[in-house]
């Protein structure tokens, strides 16, 4: 997989960017001069190595870091990231220990869906569906099965945000529409056919709301993930490839927009994942 991406981006630069930001405790921090290792950056480092089919350097240290990060004061999103990261690293038993913490914050039978309790997005506020998205990712990673009633409650919660055949709060957005169809699919429900993603597609990248500009990396990532899940194809493959390639900074990482911006691990993973998705259509 790595060699396929290497034809389009500086993959060696990506690996150098990530590795230079690994610290002695096994965690990662995208600001190289700071020793403030955290779940978010460590999760995305693990995801990047996994996407490329590579081993995480000193894997046991990273497992210990993520396991020690499973604390009650962490938000549901962060706990879910740590759980998924541990599962990817082959530490499923340790990952399952985090589920009890998840259920203290995410209680579908009590109508509590961890809204607004910390999110993963660098820009903008966390969506009401963000915790649901990450919690379901964690459940899938450790093969946890929800009860029928829990599934139904989560489905009904997701459908509260339906805007015709897409999802949002005041209007349909790419982020929430992907989070919704991912959740419904994970729960075993059918997902609506939607034209939302094609309405947000421009000649290079995707936008958060239909018929707008400029495109950003995060809606491009979510839209391509969604199209793959729906079994559909993007229209402007070459344009999307060029858009993503342009986002790579000299330090090897990726930024979110065509304008100036700093690299971070989240953007770097999304760029690699989106490019990999495009090349598989």
Could you state, in order of their start, the residue ranges of all structural domains in the chain? Answer: 103-190
Q: Which residue has the higher pLDDT, 123 or 184?
A: 184
Residue reference for tokens 């029928």: 148
Question: pLDDT digits over 110-152, tens only?
Answer: 999 987 756 666 555 678 999 999 999 999 999 999 999 999 9
Residue 214 has what pLDDT?
A: 96
Q: Give the C-alpha separation, 84 to 145, whole Å.
A: 15
Calculate the alpha carbon distances from 133 to 77, 81, 120, 235 in Å. Answer: 9, 11, 11, 27
In angstroms, the CA 87 to CA 38 distance is: 17
Average pLDDT over residues 79-98: 98
Q: Answer whether residue 20 shows pLDDT above 90.
A: yes
Measured CA distances, 143 to 87, 137, 162 (Å): 10, 10, 28
**Is the CB of residue 174 less than 8 Å from the CB of residue 183?**
no
Report, as an integer, the average pLDDT of 255-267: 95
Share of the chain above pLDDT 90, in %: 91
Q: Is the pLDDT of residue 3 over 80?
A: no
* Euclidean distance between CA atoms 92 and 66, whole angstroms: 12
Q: What's the CA gap between 38 and 16, in Å, rounded?
A: 19
Taking the model in full, what pTM does it have? 0.96
């Amino acid at each position: 997989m790595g060699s396929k991406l290497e034809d389009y981006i500086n993959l060696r630069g990506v690996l150098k960017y990530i590795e230079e930001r690994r610290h002695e405790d096994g965690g990662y921090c995208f600001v190289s001069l700071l020793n403030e290792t955290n779940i978010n950056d460590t999760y995305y480092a693990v995801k990047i190595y996994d996407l490329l089919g590579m081993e995480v350097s000193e894997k046991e240290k990273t497992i210990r870091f993520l396991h020690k990060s499973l604390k009650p004061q962490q938000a549901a999103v962060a706990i879910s990231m740590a759980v998924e990261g541990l599962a990817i690293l082959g530490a499923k038993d340790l990952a399952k220990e985090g589920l009890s913490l998840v259920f203290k914050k995410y209680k579908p039978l009590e109508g509590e869906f961890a809204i607004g309790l910390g999110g993963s997005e660098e820009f903008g506020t966390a969506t009401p569906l963000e915790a649901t998205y990450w919690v379901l990712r964690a459940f899938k990673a450790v093969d946890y099965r929800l009860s029928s009633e829990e599934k139904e409650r989560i489905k009904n919660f997701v459908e509260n945000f339906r805007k015709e055949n897409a999802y949002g709060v005041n209007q349909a957005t790419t982020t929430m529409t992907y989070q919704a169809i991912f959740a419904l699919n994970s729960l075993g429900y059918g997902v609506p056919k939607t034209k939302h993603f094609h309405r947000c597609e421009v000649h290079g990248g995707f936008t958060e709301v239909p018929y707008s500009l400029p495109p950003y990396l995060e809606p491009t990532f979510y839209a391509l993930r969604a199209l793959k899940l729906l079994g559909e194809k993007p229209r402007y493959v070459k344009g999307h490839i060029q858009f993503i390639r342009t986002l790579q900074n000299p330090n090897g990482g990726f930024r979110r927009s065509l304008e100036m911006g700093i690299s971070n691990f989240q953007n770097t993973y999304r760029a690699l994942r989106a490019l990999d998705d495009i090349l598989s259509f």
